[in-house]
Amino acid sequence: MADCIFCKIISGDIPSTKVYEDEYVLAFRDINPMAPTHVVIIPKRHVQSMNEFENLTEKEQLAILHACKKVAELEGIDQTGYRVVSNCGPDADQSVQHLHFHVLGGGKLSARLA
């Protein structure tokens, strides 16, 4: 989508600090980190939210989950613990209308919902 900030990051029109990339996903550092480690993972194909998850192929779906684990390993938080979050819709405060997951860690996280 031409007006989607995450699609512009994928295309290289907007710079990002890449952490991981494969054929199906891109992972980059959040510009407003909510934890010492805060990486955003997005599918390269635009879908709006988890409500459209079934529009991704099984390979794309699995790539997202694999990327969450891989990012935790690359960031050195896989053994100490991390949180994976995806906000869906206005009541969940989804800020960008492109499916994305946050991998948060690097310290003790609040017990509150992210």
Active site residues: 100
Q: What is d(CA 75, CA 103) in angstroms, rounded to the nearest whole number?
A: 10
Give yes or no for a contact between 49 and 97, defined as CB atoms under 8 angstroms apart: yes
Give yes or no for a contact between 103 and 34, defined as CB atoms under 8 angstroms apart: no
Hunting for tokens 């896989």 — which residue is that? 78
Q: Which of 5, 106, 90, 2 is nearest to 49 (CA)?
A: 90
